Chains A and B, each alone.
Chain A
Amino acid sequence: MRIVVSAARLMLALMAVAQAALAFEIEDHAVFPASPERSVLRIISTADLDVFRPILLAFQAENPGVTLDYTITGTSQLMAALHEEGASFDLAISSAMDLQTKLANDGFAQAHASPAAETLPDWAAWRNEVFGFTQEPAVIIVSRAFFGDDDVPQNREELIRPLRGNPDRFRGKIGTYDVRPLGFGYLVATQDSRRSEAFWRLMEVMGSLEARLYCCSGEMIRDVAKGRLALAYNVLGSYAAAELRRVGGFEIVEPTDFVNVMLRSALIPKSAANPGDARRMVDFLLTLAAASGLPAIDPDALRANSALHPIRFGPGLLVFLDRMTRDSFLNSWESSLFQVRGLP
């Protein structure tokens, strides 16, 4: 009898191991239990818990009885979870607009005729399946300590000039995204490349100065704030603003030639077990007040500053996800950035 039980336990343990091996990487996981619990809303998201906690609590205050199960993962991990592994979540929140678009295009999202979405500008939603709910610019941050009294470059041309003029001063002191993993870094880099040739010149210069590559905005901001970097290119503006309030020591520059504006978006997967609460959450996110700490969709801000270019949802975003196009883009990018050191 005992043996049978332990055999069963062993089986379960083996299955758990197997599942873990198959599953995507989970960075963090949090549960906001409701009592009494009426339903569970399982969210998979790329947003840090610090950023999202106030939003989740506000939603729970409005919808008591909904337990929130919040799983944090990387953008490509989220894509893999839903697209390849068939993981079941009720809501997917991601900053990777291209991957969200691909999920919807390939039929992994379900439609939601949200009344709140009707007021959205047409570039902020797609097919009633992907709903943008924040607008976050990709910015340059510069170290106050490093630049001192020098003029801070305000656009890409102004940035290229001092880098070329003083290579020794900036060598190893520039940070940008490693665009090779899919995510925010790849998205803004590809959008940069399609908006201006200055992008490639900037990448060439950065490569010659042995720019340091980062996985995430947070680390870049931290290194600039500490003075380890002179500047970081293509940092998520909302994080930078939050860090600036918290620690300071750097300056945020919205380039005057053009600023890519990324939309954080939500979609309801086809496999959602609790689409009702997911729809409520989408509507809640769309009516998000600025108090949540995330910048809400605001067409007036775009009208006020013509350099702000929102990245549009639509089939165009599928282009740089294409295998051959991506290979070609990364080839160019690597040959620019690893011209001195060579590919690691």
Chain B
Amino acid sequence: MKPRGSIRRRLVLQLVGVEAILSVALFVVVRAVAQRAAEGTQDDILAASATSIADSLRTEGGQIRLELPYSALSMLGTLHEDRVFYRVEAQGGILTGYADLRPARAQAGRPGFSTYDYRGEDVRAVTVLRSLGAGTQQEVAVTVAQTRQGLEAISRKITATATAVGAGFFLLATALSLLAANHALAPIARRTEAVTRRGPSDLRPLSVAPPAELWPLARALNGFMARLRGSLARTEDFIAEAAHRVRTPLATVRAQAELVHRRLNDPDKRRAVREMIRAIDETSRSAGQMLDHAMVGFRSENMERRPVDLRDLVRETCNRLAPTADLREIVLRQDLPDAPVTVEGDPILLQAAFLNILDNAVKYGPHDSAVTVSVTDGAQVAITVRDRGPGFGGADLKALTGRYVRGESTAHVVGSGLGLTIAQAVA
């Protein structure tokens, strides 16, 4: 199953989008505020200049006199080397200055500002009104204008700064949002790891409470695991119950048949009972193997790995098969090393597989022969079973491991055809 989309990528992309919008907004705001501040500074200086000129106006014998204060114009040179124009106008006409300079609209006591083109360059102009004279008041308008090159230089600097601020904010916010996305998604990774690390039989509910967003998923998973646990338990119970219910009555029937067989003298009847016992044996074996096969199938899906000493496995299995071997006068030889030979695996499954192989050897081997079981340790751990049986006769090993298929040379021996299937399934 391939993943479709990524929460992390979606989260990061959306955060980055938001940050891009915020960065642009920051740029615009910083630029606008700083620009307004710079323009305000120029306006303030212009107004101060015009006011100081207006303050130096006086009347002498009805005539207006003016001495420009040196600072009125020199202060305009402090910001930048911008060109400066001025004009002083009374109701009677221009008193002094640049006659073609246009005054801004002003009210008494409130300077007026305007921006326009003068002699081919943008100028910012301020006009201040002042009433002069004792008896007949005369209104004088003082206009001071300055080109805006300094302001443009400041504006370029502001734009550069605002760009740097915007870009810096964007980069920082992007880095932080990557961190935030990773942090937000960390609980998912933690829970995934906890589930992955579990053993095959561990179907307990998740122990650590997940965050609210993962709560439904965790609850669903826990519910699913509980159902699975119940289902597995029922299957196991069923197999154990079935084994018990089938094996015990069959053993009873077989014992009774043996008793009858011993008491009978009539060879025909004895033969019939003998056939019966044979059928019972076969049924018992088949049932046992079918249950074994089910168990193997069940367990291999929930494989439990733990260290198993193969020598113990061989000894135990040989002991279990000793009575049958004795019956057929077959000697079971064990060739085991002194040191333990340990492999990782499911002990029940391994025993089931080995039991079936050895069972085959004992069953199909000739009377009065020997079966040797040896365990070798090395690069590859192996259990070898050597017998004097008919072998597989070159038949396809794959075919033989199919269910209910029996080799050609086995027609006269009891067998379900499930032994090798079980062995293969375990392997």
Contact = CB atoms under 8 A, between A and B. Distances in A.
A329 interface: yes
A107 B77 contact: no
Contacts of B135: none
B364 to A, nearest CB: 109
A22 to B, nearest CB: 23
Interface string B78-116: 000101110010000001110000000000000000000
B72 interface: yes
Specify which of A107, A126, A128, A315 lies most central, judged by the most chain B CB atoms within 10 Å of its CB. A315
B66 A318 contact: no
Contact of A319 (B68, B88, B95, B120): B68
Contacts of A194: 70
A339 interface: no
Interface residues of A, number: 20
Interface string A41-81: 00000000000000000000000000000000000000000
Interface in A307-323: 312, 314-316, 318-319, 322-323
Interface in A80-110: 104-107
A325 interface: yes
B119 A325 contact: no
Contacts of B74: 312, 314-316, 319
A105 B74 CA distance: 13
Contacts of A106: 83, 119
A328 interface: yes
Contacts of B97: 322
Contacts of B121: 107
A149 to B, nearest CB: 41
A43 B49 CA distance: 36
A322 B81 CA distance: 20
B65 A324 contact: yes
B120 A107 contact: yes
Contacts of B95: 324
Contact of A315 (B69, B77, B96, B119): B77
B67 A107 contact: no
Contacts of A322: 66, 68, 96-97
A37 B71 CA distance: 49
A222 interface: no
B115 to A, nearest CB: 18
Given A107-B83, A323-B96, A328 B70 contact: no
Given A107-B119, A127-B81, A315-B84, A325 B67 contact: yes
A319 B65 contact: no
Contacts of A324: 65-68, 88, 95-96
B73 interface: yes
B83 A328 contact: no
> What is the predominant secondary structure among interface residues of chain A facing chain B?
helix
Given A324-B66, A328-B65, A319 B72 contact: yes
A173 to B, nearest CB: 32
Nearest to A190: B70
A136 to B, nearest CB: 21
Nearest to B57: A324
Nearest to A127: B81
A318 B96 contact: no
B73 A318 contact: yes
A254 to B, nearest CB: 23
B84 A105 contact: yes
Contacts of B85: 105
Interface string A278-320: 0000000000000000000000000000000000101110110
A312 B96 CA distance: 24
A105 B123 CA distance: 13
Interface string A178-206: 00000000000000001000000000000
A309 B81 CA distance: 20
A113 to B, nearest CB: 13
B335 to A, nearest CB: 101
Nearest to A316: B74
Contacts of A126: 81
A319 B81 contact: no
A316 B66 contact: no
A314 B81 contact: yes
B50 interface: no
Contacts of A107: 83, 119-121
B104 to A, nearest CB: 19
Nearest to B149: A127
A106 B100 CA distance: 12
B301 to A, nearest CB: 85
A314 B146 CA distance: 13
B76 interface: yes
B70 A319 contact: yes
7 contacts: A106-B119, A316-B77, A319-B69, A319-B72, A324-B66, A324-B95, A328-B65
Interface of A: 104-107, 126-128, 194, 312, 314-316, 318-319, 322-325, 328-329
Top 4 A-B pairs ranked by shortest CB distance? A316-B74, A314-B77, A315-B84, A324-B66
Interface of B: 65-74, 76-77, 81, 83-85, 88, 95-97, 119-121
Given A105-B85, A322-B66, A328-B66, 9 more contacts: A105-B83, A107-B120, A312-B74, A315-B73, A315-B74, A316-B71, A318-B73, A319-B70, A322-B96
